[in-house]
A and B are shown apart, each in its own frame.
Chain A
Amino acid sequence: MTQRNSQELDPFVERLASLFLREGGCPYGEGGKASPEPTILSLIALLAAGSYEDKANSLIPWILKHQTENGSIGINPMNYGWGTWLSAHFAVFCHHYRLRSHLENAMRFLQSFRSVTLPRDPKAKQDNSIVGWPWVPGTFGWVEPTAWAVIAFNLCGMEQNPRALEGRRFLLDRCIPSGGWNYGNAELNDRELLPFWDTTALALLALQGTAEEKRLSLSLELLEKNQDKINSLLGTAWTLLALKVYSRDTGRLRPKLISVMQTLNDNDFNAAHYAIGIIALSGKKVLTP
């Protein structure tokens, strides 16, 4: 565990922790059932925010008991086959909490969890033969689950693993020529798709330190120059995380993120997104080696 980060984060951590359930786990929002994604991201946020062992201890047993024999973890504790994309997030958590056997099992699953490849589609210029990670078993690969899986490999010192190398190739292949990432395709019918802030930042985090800087510069500039247009909790948090890792200007993002998190009403509260906000505000590099 790292040392306590900053008292500035206390109110945010307290608000997040107010959702933790007595029986374990964290729901997405008030009144919901405990769910693996907000639980895992809360655990990573608690670590990033400093030493909040007491709060983390109420979540850890709950999440660990949901890891399946094949190492995966799903979105639904009652039906493990769904949402196994979350296994990458789980691996990141296990890495930081030094849960070696759980981590090894999760990484073994991630190595076996492959997206489907497809023949080349004339509508899109991308290389559909590159294997990434899907949201759902038996389907195509997409930017977000692939970026999270590559992040898990990087953190575990497995960045040279063939799956990690191919995952980075996948992300570079899906990069929009003028910068940034959409959720999946870069172009369709000879037209560039719109870059999204969250997927662009995630891909940049996954590629940090491993890809050619020149290929990433347009994407970094895209986030940097659009700081004033990014207003959501999720977009601001991810952009702050990515730009900070690349030592780019983030001056306008931090106060904006604090303001967004402070003014978020209970009805709109999403614990998973809020946890990413705390991770971003902490300044800790928990998603890069």
Chain B
Amino acid sequence: MNRRQFIKGTAFLLNSSLIGSLPRSRPAESYPVTLLPMASYEIDLSREIASAISEDGLAVKGKRVILKPNFVEVHPGRPINTHIQVIANVAEACLKLGASAVIVGEASGHRRDPWFSVLNPDLRAVLDKRVKCVDLNHGDAVRVANRGKRTGLSSFYIAEPVMRGDILISLPKLKTHHWMGVTLSLKNLFGVLPGIYYGWPKNLLHFRGIDNSILDLAETIKVHYTVIDGVVGMEGDGPIMGRAKRVGALVMSPFSLAADATAARLMGFDPARIPYLAMAGRFMPGLNGSHVSFRGENPKRFAMRFDCRDEFKSMRGGPFW
């Protein structure tokens, strides 16, 4: 499918006053995932992203949208973070869809200096001037009851700008992870917790169990949409020290786990063998591949085998399609 065909199939909702308010009729247990080809970061896909978001029924018009990329740490030349062009494309899509405000927010996990995340001039240069950037590590936070309780923490302190948003869109990077196997949208929620409470790194979450923390946050914080940057992912010793792996796609869904499970399959992992994804499947939809309906490209086109540390090789599976 080319770009023109994709838009033709989905753009009818764009700029409609009914965007987001159409009733969504979907067969039982069918969770949409859109695979959007993106061969290079130089391509402007904001129209296609807007079309997919509309098609998924997310009402953006008049809403305050928080974009949460992954800016865990910067190493020159390593594809650690969500690419700034992906952030810019999604921000532009939200503006096209009539968002009242678009805010890029991140509480970087390793770097206290926000110059390496939301203050970075390269990011600012590619964003529309209407888009604001907020450092979620420093500032006010809201105490929210932990709905998961696996960590034993009664509550989380969540950065106030996230709580004041109407819509949270997670923009993780497609990567392997040296403790968890893979890091995607669910793990990306660590970055809404301010470092002034949790530190750099957020070591409390490690001590309470990274998997427990991921699951507790997934139950506590509503993510309305996920766009995974799989244009260039990371294989091997991720999430920091791995190698670039080109996949050439964005993985998009209103269902975080469906996006994550699909992304894991694209990397050659069976999500049911990745403990935290498998456990998330008990309370979130989208783990089971037969329940996912694909739009955009056929996933076969992007399926590959990511190199990983030996301890995660047992999590591999497939072929899935």
Binding site for B on A (CB under 8 A): 27-29, 32-33, 35, 37, 75-76, 79, 82-83, 85, 116, 123, 134-136, 138-140, 142, 144-145, 182-184, 188-189, 191, 193-194, 196-198, 231-235, 267-268, 270, 272-273
Contact = CB atoms under 8 A, between A and B. Distances in A.
Contact of B203 (A82, A123, A134, A191): A134
Interface in B160-203: 178, 196-201, 203
B271 to A, nearest CB: 25
A142 B113 contact: no
A123 B133 CA distance: 36
Contact of A198 (B112, B143, B201, B207): B112
Residue among A85, A184, A272 with most chain B CB within 10 A: A184
Contacts of A138: 204, 207
B138 A272 contact: yes
A234 B115 contact: yes
A82 B197 contact: yes
Given A135-B198, A144-B200, 7 more contacts: A116-B207, A189-B241, A193-B240, A268-B114, A268-B119, A270-B138, A272-B138
B56 interface: no
B110 interface: yes
Contacts of B73: 194
Given A134-B203, A188-B241, A270-B135, A76 B197 contact: yes
A134 B204 CA distance: 10
Contacts of A182: 110
B139 A197 contact: no
11 contacts: A75-B196, A83-B196, A135-B199, A136-B198, A139-B199, A142-B203, A183-B200, A188-B241, A191-B241, A193-B240, A268-B135
Contacts of B237: 189
B157 interface: yes
Contacts of A75: 196-197
B241 A183 contact: no
Contact of A184 (B75, B140, B141, B201): B201
Interface residues of B, number: 34
A136 B204 contact: yes
Given A76-B157, A142-B199, A267-B132, A183 B110 contact: yes
B198 A28 contact: no
A276 to B, nearest CB: 11
Interface string B106-120: 000011111110010
Nearest to A145: B199
A33 to B, nearest CB: 5
Contacts of A116: 207
Interface string B281-300: 00000000000000000000
A29 B240 CA distance: 31
Contacts of A198: 112-113
B111 A183 contact: yes
Nearest to A234: B113
Interface of B: 73, 75, 110-116, 119, 121, 132-133, 135, 138-141, 143, 157, 178, 196-201, 203-204, 206-207, 237, 240-241
Given A232-B116, A270-B114, A82 B157 contact: yes
Contacts of A139: 199, 203-204, 206-207
A228 B140 CA distance: 33
Residue among A182, A189, A232 with most chain B CB within 10 A: A232
B147 to A, nearest CB: 19
A267 B119 CA distance: 10
Nearest to A198: B113
Contacts of B199: 85, 134-136, 139, 142, 145
A79 B75 CA distance: 36
A139 B153 CA distance: 14
Contacts of A232: 113-116, 119
Given A79-B143, A136-B203, A235 B241 contact: no
A83 B199 CA distance: 8
B115 A144 contact: no
The 7 closest A-B pairs by CB, nearest first: A135-B199, A232-B115, A139-B203, A234-B113, A136-B204, A28-B139, A28-B138
Nearest to B73: A194
Contacts of A32: 139-140
Contacts of B201: 142, 183-184
A113 to B, nearest CB: 13
A237 to B, nearest CB: 10
Nearest to B119: A268
A197 B157 CA distance: 28
A75 to B, nearest CB: 5
B145 to A, nearest CB: 14
Nearest to B199: A135
Nearest to A270: B138
Contacts of B178: 123, 189
B3 to A, nearest CB: 35
A140 B203 CA distance: 7
Contacts of A191: 241
Nearest to B200: A183
A225 to B, nearest CB: 16
B140 A33 contact: yes
